[in-house]
Amino acid sequence: MIKTRLFTPGPTDVPPEVLIEMARPIFHHRTERFREMFAQVNAGLKSILKTANDVMTIAGSGTAGMEAAIACAVPRDKKVLVSNGGKFGERWAKVARVYGLDVDEVVLEWGTALQPDLVEEKLATGQYGAVITVHSETSTATACDLEAIAKVVAGTGAILLADCITAVGALPLKMDDWQVDVVCGGSQKAFMLPPGLAMVALSDKAWANVDAIDAPAFYLDLKAYRKSLAKDDTPYTGPVSLIRGLQVSVDAINAIGIERVWARTALLAKATRAAAEALGMTVFSTQPSDSVTGILFPEGVDDSFRKALQTTYGASVAGGQNELKGKLMRINHMGYVDPLDTIGLIAAIEYTLADSGVDVEIGKGVTAATRILRDWD
């Protein structure tokens, strides 16, 4: 029997202790037991996001959290700058247009990221009320310099909304210190849960916008979530089982320490990139993300490589999208993944390359990775 190992950048693998907690008998959400649990989850999320502000947990995917922020916090009387460097940046431009916002969409070459100097140039005109960017663009395995961008935006009247869905809990993120105004996360990434929860935190600057806007939203109205969260509750039916699992995963992350988790994620990414290069493969992206690595297939290899990897070794990796479809694989480093998982995957990649007719030295990638992973803490 081949054990299935999930290396896709969402959903990611879920630890047994989280699955066990979610399988326990359900209890009612309008109870003191739920409110106590929800308060503990909020406190734990604040530690992970490095913020003193409350973190709202919404039943829905990360898209629900981002849509709520766009609908409720982006001013209507000014332009919104949206960075489109992949499928998710493209999505936020579409969402903003749905709400009738004046969108200035900066379309980037895939594998590149929004640069702070461009943001500074745009905002200097005084025409913009918000900037929307993706911290870690999953579709291109590319990270932007969120801290530098936030520094630019903080000096203006605009707010910064950051899709941190494949960043929070994996990449360095200090919401308050960096002055990021909106951070959105999702349960199925570094939080090691099934899909179904979005986490949204807002700065005081962003909340001022929310209070001034009559948002065309009901279920996604952030004012309703803030009001309920003041009582450690949700405005609508809380997904009790998912939140129970979230408490376990948040406690586990904080027990390790978020800085240590950041370092571990970076080490797994570094080892994977070194292995790819040792095997003569090319890492995609000019600014690679540590949460997910994109690796281009060698000449003569197509997307059947991923199927062979899964069928023979039980290792499931993600493929490319749009113009990258059939040209690369994307490997997860978030959450419930460790050095042995990574080394095993690299060995399986070596064998599958050889089976695909690629002239590869078996063990060369593993050796490159293990040298780096000796520094595991």
Complete domains list, the chain, with CATH? 5-10+257-373 (3.90.1150.10), 16-256 (3.40.640.10)
Residue 1: CB atoms within 10 A of its CB come to 4
Strands 136-137 and 128-134: unpaired
Return the pLDDT at 285: 97
pLDDT at 73: 98
Q: DSSP string covering 202-252, please? A: E-HHHHHHHHH---S-STT-HHHHHHHHTTT--SS---HHHHHHHHHHHHH
Task: Determine the pLDDT at residue 48.
Answer: 98
pLDDT attached to residue 1: 80
Q: Which two tokens stand for residue 73?
A: 């916090």
Can you give the pLDDT of all 377 residues of the chain as single tens digits? 889 999 999 999 999 999 999 999 999 999 999 999 999 999 999 999 999 999 999 999 999 999 999 999 999 999 999 999 999 999 999 999 999 999 999 999 999 999 999 999 999 999 999 999 999 999 999 999 999 999 999 999 999 999 999 999 999 999 999 999 999 999 999 999 999 999 999 999 999 999 999 999 999 999 999 999 999 999 999 999 999 999 999 999 999 999 999 999 999 999 999 999 999 999 999 999 999 999 999 999 999 999 999 999 999 999 999 989 999 999 999 999 999 999 999 999 999 999 999 999 999 999 999 999 999 99
Q: Phi and psi dihedrals of 159, rounded to 5? A: -115, 155
Taking the C-alpha atoms of residue 314 and residue 361, their distance in angstroms, rounded to an integer, is 22
With 0.95 as the threshold, say if the pTM is over it: yes
